């Protein structure tokens, strides 16, 4: 009987030790960030054999987590995009200066009723000085979190940056600079501005008249204008009847 009790006690101790060992491998309720990352990496390596590509869904999920977000600035904090090109935000809207007029503060309101912050939209303001374009504008009303901005210009595609005020106000400012070709002008230089969210979807887009009307960067028409064939010089032409004058009485 004593031997049986000792055996049972020993089995209980073994089970307790075995249970403790199993629990020690589990992640705590609130694990450190690096511990969770290592555990996830080990699990991913276990299900993905060496030499095989990662699933597309995993790559997309990682890209979304690493997607950039707008820089958060305090009200009145000045951001220098280029010498003389500064931007700052207030609750009323966008403020900026340009190299050609560094002492003149320019302003674009978000509270005067000219824009509907409940509808996705983008605006653009541009200035060209010394063969350099200084581009900026508002974006607002889109779903999700704005992430990137692409500007189609006469010089090519330009990637800009985004800034916002704290607290998710529902609008922000994009800006960029680029070189200008000799034929590029301030009215036709920018043809399209597209803001994407962190999931790669379109947050808001603006297509200017120059792109719709055939300016620089405008898409070519699918069907060329119709032309009539040239007449064959050897083909006889129909005679035109001419009216003979009536003889005078």
On whether the CB atoms of residues 146 and 138 are closer than 8 A, the answer is no
d(CA 76, CA 89): 6
If pLDDT is split at 50, 70 and 90, which confidence band does 225 have?
very low
- Residue 94: beta bridge partners? 89, 108
Backbone Cα Rg of the chain: 34
pLDDT in tens, 115-149: 999 999 999 999 998 889 999 999 999 999 999 99
Determine the Cα–Cα distance for residues 205 and 143; give it in Å rounded to an integer: 12
Question: Which range among 77-81, 180-184, 192-196 shows the weakest confidence by mean pLDDT?
Answer: 180-184
Q: Tens digits of per-residue pLDDT, 59-101?
A: 455 556 789 999 999 999 999 999 999 999 999 999 999 999 9
**pLDDT of 10 strictly over 50:** no
- How far is the C-alpha of 190 from the C-alpha of 134, rounded, in Å? 11
Percent over 70 (pLDDT), the chain: 55
CA 99-154-116 angle, 5° bins = 75
Q: Record the tokens describing residue 207, joined without a space.
A: 């297509």
**pLDDT score for 66:** 87
Alpha carbon separation from 66 to 41, 57, 166, 172, 203 (Å, rounded)? 16, 14, 20, 20, 18
Q: Are 102 and 84 spatial neighbours (Cβ–Cβ below 8 Å)? A: yes
Higher pLDDT, 27 or 111: 111
Phi, psi of 167, deg, nearest 5: 85, 15
pLDDT given for residue 221 in this prediction: 41
């Amino acid at each position: 009987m004593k031997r049986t009790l000792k055996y049972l006690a020993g089995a209980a101790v073994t089970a307790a030790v075995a249970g403790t060992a199993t629990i020690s491998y589990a992640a705590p309720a609130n694990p450190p960030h690096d511990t969770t990352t290592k555990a996830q990496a080990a699990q991913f390596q276990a299900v993905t054999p060496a030499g095989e590509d990662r699933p597309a869904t995993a790559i997309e999920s990682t890209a979304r987590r690493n997607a950039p977000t707008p820089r958060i600035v305090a009200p009145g904090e000045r951001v220098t995009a280029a010498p003389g090109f500064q931007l700052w935000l207030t609750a009323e809207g966008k403020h900026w200066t340009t190299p050609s007029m560094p002492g003149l503060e320019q302003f674009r309101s978000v509270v005067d009723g000219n824009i509907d912050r409940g509808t996705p939209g983008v605006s653009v303001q541009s200035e060209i000085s010394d063969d350099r374009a200084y581009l900026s504008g508002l974006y607002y009303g889109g779903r999700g979190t704005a992430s990137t901005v692409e500007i189609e210009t006469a010089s090519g595609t330009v990637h800009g940056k985004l800034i916002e005020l704290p607290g998710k106000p529902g609008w922000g400012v994009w800006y960029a600079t680029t070189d200008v070709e000799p034929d590029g002008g301030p009215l036709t230089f920018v043809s399209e501005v597209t803001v994407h969210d962190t999931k790669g979807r379109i947050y808001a887009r603006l297509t200017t008249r120059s792109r719709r009307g055939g300016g620089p960067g405008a898409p070519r028409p699918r069907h060329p204008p119709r032309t009539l064939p040239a007449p064959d010089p050897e083909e006889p032409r129909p005679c035109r009847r001419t009216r003979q004058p009536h003889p005078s009485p």
